[in-house]
Structure 1
Amino acid sequence: MNEMVATSHLETELKYEVRADIKLPVTLSGADSETEIERVGGSTETGLKHHSSSVYELAAHYYDTPQRELAKNGIALRLRSGGADEGWHLKRRVDARTQHETTWPYEEELPAGVSATVDEIISEASTRLEIIAAIKTTRTVHRISDSTGRIVAEICDDQVSTVDNSTGIKRVWREWEAELVETETGEVSEHLLKTLDGLLIEAGATPSLADSKIARAVGALLPGALKKSAPPATIAALTLLETADILQAESPGDPRIDRIRTIIERVRNMRG
């Protein structure tokens, strides 16, 4: 077998909770692709416009050791099919909004390069890997371009369905992601992030309680918050989030789901 070449990049993204009834602003979704995207609260020119949209069906298996050593070290490993970047992805958390991602071309067996990279971080961990969750995502990608026509960001509207392999528990939710396209210099445009964040919040989204799909898929959010002695409002919100995700998987269309998600938004604003 020929050694597959790995590529690496920094992934900067913001994640959002979003109810089923909320729609993206028309200038982001492409419903109005001629109007320039404006900042919230003013008509300051941004030079940003909707460029194009695509829909992808993504299917991923996530891997970790039985002791969840990768997760404990801030690492996520998956094999994903579908989309423009299918293959093996190893993500390492840099900060709250940035991850370092290394990718290898798609292959059903664990590539030697992936094994070596995992073992460099955790000795012989590659020999203990198992599938911990399956995640399917229907992703609608809206690409945003600047005044020169260069694509600078992507807004992803994700319908997510997961199965926790250790418990069999299924979870379903919807989320938005605003991801910057990496520049040659690697610089992050704070103005661009602020513009997109303002538009999505104004549309009804709230910052996500989960920094990754896999943590949410295996029910790790609430235990993690408890371990960190998170504020009571955060604990309450995560408890409700878990309830809503499982209910949406068990009873799609149940009117209680959006009511619970609305309550979550209110609970998060509580003090204490």
Structure 2
Amino acid sequence: MTKKKTSTTSDAKKSRKHVKKPEGEVVEKKPEGEVVEDVGTRPADPAATGPVDEAATSFHDGDVIAAGQDGGEDAAVALEAEVTFVLDADAQLPDLSAVFDQGEVREQALRAVYLDTADLLLLRNQVTLRRREGGTDDGWHLKLPADADRLEVRTGLGSGAGRWAVPETHLQALAEHLGADWESVPEAERGLMPVAVLSTQRTAVDLLDASGAVVATLCDDRVEASPSGRAWRELEVELMPGAAPELLDLTVMHLAAQGVEPAGSPSKLGRALEKSLKRQAKGKGPKKKDPAGTLVMAYVAEQAAVIRAREAGVAADAPEAVHKSRVAIRRLRSTLRTFGALFDGEQAEALRKELGWYARRLGDPRDAEVVSARILADLDTVPRADYDGPVKTRAAEELGRRHAQAHAQLVKAQASPRYARLMDTLTEFVAAPPLVGEHGRKGKKVLPQMVADAVALTAETAQQARDAETAQERLTLLHETRKRAKAVRYAFEATAPAFGETAAARAADWEQVTEALGAVQDLEVVLPALRHVRDAAVAAGESSYTYGWLAGRLGQVQAEAEAQALPALEAALRHAEVKPKDLLDD
């Protein structure tokens, strides 16, 4: 780290009070509020994002947001007054000696991971949430528009397991600022996951007043964005708390005289995601010529966001929360396997293993929930003549107890360091995916063959089920067929946004297959649970007759379900009998 001081003449010092226009050049002073505005965070086309009530936030400079009952660090709220400028990559650093003396110079390497919803709700509302490492203010930063400036909510980074959990203070401030816009978003779509990583090489220069006090900081930033691959250079001048706002006016005027203008582009994040924002504003999705890794990671990030969004619901046993989280994990694990050639095998398999652990914790209460609903509904169909004893009461008590015990274990797992580490690993995987192989090639050149391979595996297992010699062997192979059919379904789902209607239609075909085969598998879970209830009834001196009657009936239902599942499977396989390049295309 070096410290530099630049001497200035008395005339230059006087010019801090009165800026002289260069001879023959008119420097127009911007209207009040326009210069001080954080130009670097405003979209180039405000109409693309809609109006924002910048005064809507109830937070103010100097506020402290308490961490709440769950602990954590209180958040500080600070007003941020800065302006961003465009600068060519090879341009000399402009001279501000007529406005400031120069203080210490620091070289910094910054890595900022920006989080948002899948549809970029925060960015569209001129809000940014990032976790930044490096520099003098590393931590969690939530930036909210407020009049002409921005309010920044800050907490430290934290360490150890759970470091990627968004601080509760930031979620509170975000929800309060966005208000109805946030409340209108379904819970399942509120998951905040990485949408961009910005790596910045920064030269930070302290800017001093005549007394030697630091009144501002000049940041010369060279930025690289991932996954967009964009790179640029920009300058930021940020005032220190208490500094005179007019200093930004003077800065803008002096830089304009040197040909350096305020940026008309969005914030760093907006610039990194400019193309995505434009396509989204036009109602367009990804393209099949986009990199294969990018297309697959969009699906991975979507499922990861669902898991994050459903965390509170899972803990509270909210309707569908456990089920949707379990399905998202299935999609994730399947995607990492089907498109495994695009990922570092060791990292992808390690993540799949830990996701499998959490899936099992989710599976126990979910299976108990499904079993309870199925048995209680089926008991309503038992003829009165075959109904012997307090059957439904016994079933509700036994199955309810199993569900409560399983859910308690799930909540315990959620509170464990292992779960926190899993969420950290998942978030980091999304932020910096370990892509390898042909991930950079066009999706249409790489992905169809991978989907075709998944279809071929399913067809192979289905044939083994047809050739099975015993009923039990056939049921086991049908279960394996179902798991592989799900992999095919999820592969079509992952590619459908870019490949269009054909992929979406085939995803729907395979959904029918998995649902039909699922009806067979569900009964494999229901029947043992029914026997458990029967045994409990017998132990209590109650009749087992009704349970036996229902078990026989469910055995017939299972055979019928198997007969209905096979034609759906055959139809889906016939539709897939095309060349790989034609499998996904319209």
Identify the TM-score tier after normalising by the shorter chain. Answer: 0.5 to 0.7
In the superposition, relative to structure 1, how do residues 126 and 51 fare at CA in structure 2: closer, same or farther (>3 Å)?
farther
Deviations 1:7-27 (A, max 9, x none): 11111111111112321235x
1:64 maps onto 2:116 in alignment: yes
Q: Whole-Å Cα distance in 1 between the matches of residues 107 and 188 of structure 2?
A: 35
> Residue 60 of structure 1 contacts residue 78 of structure 1 at CA under 8 Å; is this kept in 2?
yes
Give 2:236's aligned residue: 177
Aligned AA (1:112): E
Give 2:434's aligned residue: none
1:223 maps onto 2:278 in alignment: yes
Secondary structure at the residue paired with 1:113?
A: helix
Aligned pairs for 1:1-272 within 5 A: 2-26=71-95, 28=96, 37-38=97-98, 48-95=100-147, 98-107=149-158, 108-109=163-164, 110-120=166-176, 121=178, 122-123=182-183, 127-163=190-226, 168-183=227-242, 188-190=244-246, 192-219=247-274, 223=278
Q: Whole-Å Cα distance in 1 between the matches of residues 216 and 234 of structure 2?
A: 17
Q: Larger relative contact order (C-alpha < 8 A, sep ≥ 6)?
A: 1
> Residue 24 of structure 1 contacts residue 200 of structure 1 at CA under 8 Å; is this kept in 2?
no
Q: Whole-Å Cα distance in 1 between the matches of residues 254 and 188 of structure 2?
A: 42
Deviations 1:114-172 (A, max 9, x none): 23323333235895111110101111011111122211111110000001xxxx42100
More helix per residue? 2
> Residue 18 of structure 1 contacts residue 204 of structure 1 at CA under 8 Å; is this kept in 2?
no
> Residue 14 of structure 1 contacts residue 178 of structure 1 at CA under 8 Å; is this kept in 2?
yes
> Residue 85 of structure 2 contacts residue 235 of structure 2 at CA under 8 Å; is this kept in 1?
yes
More strand per residue? 1
Aligned AA (1:9): A
In the superposition, relative to structure 1, how do residues 11 and 211 fare at CA in structure 2: closer, same or farther (>3 Å)?
farther
Secondary structure at the residue paired with 1:93?
A: strand
Secondary structure at the residue paired with 2:269?
A: helix
Q: Whole-Å Cα distance in 2 between the matches of residues 159 and 3 of structure 1?
A: 33
Deviations 1:177-197 (A, max 9, x none): 1111121xxx7421x112222
> Residue 110 of structure 2 contacts residue 199 of structure 2 at CA under 8 Å; is this kept in 1?
yes
Deviations 1:53-75 (A, max 9, x none): 11110001101111222123221
Q: Whole-Å Cα distance in 1 between the matches of residues 119 and 128 of structure 2?
A: 14
Aligned AA (2:89): A
In the superposition, relative to structure 1, how do residues 222 and 69 fare at CA in structure 2: closer, same or farther (>3 Å)?
closer
Q: Whole-Å Cα distance in 2 between the matches of residues 139 and 145 of structure 1?
A: 19
Identity between Structure 1 and Structure 2 (%): 33
Aligned AA (1:99): R
> Residue 77 of structure 2 contacts residue 154 of structure 2 at CA under 8 Å; is this kept in 1?
yes
List runs of 5+ in structure 1 lacking aligned partners: 29-36, 39-45, 228-272
In the superposition, relative to structure 1, how do residues 118 and 125 fare at CA in structure 2: closer, same or farther (>3 Å)?
farther
Deviations 1:42-89 (A, max 9, x none): xxxx5x311111111000110111122212322110000001110100
> Residue 252 of structure 2 contacts residue 261 of structure 2 at CA under 8 Å; is this kept in 1?
no
Q: Whole-Å Cα distance in 1 between the matches of residues 76 and 275 of structure 2?
A: 29
Q: Whole-Å Cα distance in 2 between the matches of residues 170 and 76 of structure 1?
A: 20
Q: Whole-Å Cα distance in 1 between the matches of residues 139 and 273 of structure 2?
A: 21
> Residue 144 of structure 1 contacts residue 153 of structure 1 at CA under 8 Å; is this kept in 2?
yes
Say how many residue pairs are matched: 200
| Pairwise CA RMSD | 2.5
> Residue 65 of structure 1 contacts residue 125 of structure 1 at CA under 8 Å; is this kept in 2?
no
Q: Whole-Å Cα distance in 1 between the matches of residues 261 and 188 of structure 2?
A: 36
Q: Whole-Å Cα distance in 2 between the matches of residues 24 and 94 of structure 1?
A: 30
In the superposition, relative to structure 1, how do residues 214 and 88 fare at CA in structure 2: closer, same or farther (>3 Å)?
same
TM-score (normalised: structure 2): 0.32
Q: Whole-Å Cα distance in 1 between the matches of residues 188 and 145 of structure 2?
A: 18
Q: Whole-Å Cα distance in 2 between the matches of residues 125 and 17 of structure 1?
A: 39
> Residue 56 of structure 1 contacts residue 140 of structure 1 at CA under 8 Å; is this kept in 2?
yes
- Larger Cα Rg: Structure 1 or Structure 2? 2
In the superposition, relative to structure 1, how do residues 69 and 217 fare at CA in structure 2: closer, same or farther (>3 Å)?
same
> Residue 252 of structure 2 contacts residue 262 of structure 2 at CA under 8 Å; is this kept in 1?
no
Q: Whole-Å Cα distance in 2 between the matches of residues 12 and 126 of structure 1?
A: 32
Aligned AA (1:129): L
Q: Whole-Å Cα distance in 2 between the matches of residues 222 and 114 of structure 1?
A: 24
> Residue 136 of structure 1 contacts residue 160 of structure 1 at CA under 8 Å; is this kept in 2?
yes
TM-score (normalised: structure 1): 0.66
Q: Whole-Å Cα distance in 2 between the matches of residues 56 and 18 of structure 1?
A: 19
Secondary structure at the residue paired with 1:128?
A: coil
Secondary structure at the residue paired with 1:57?
A: strand
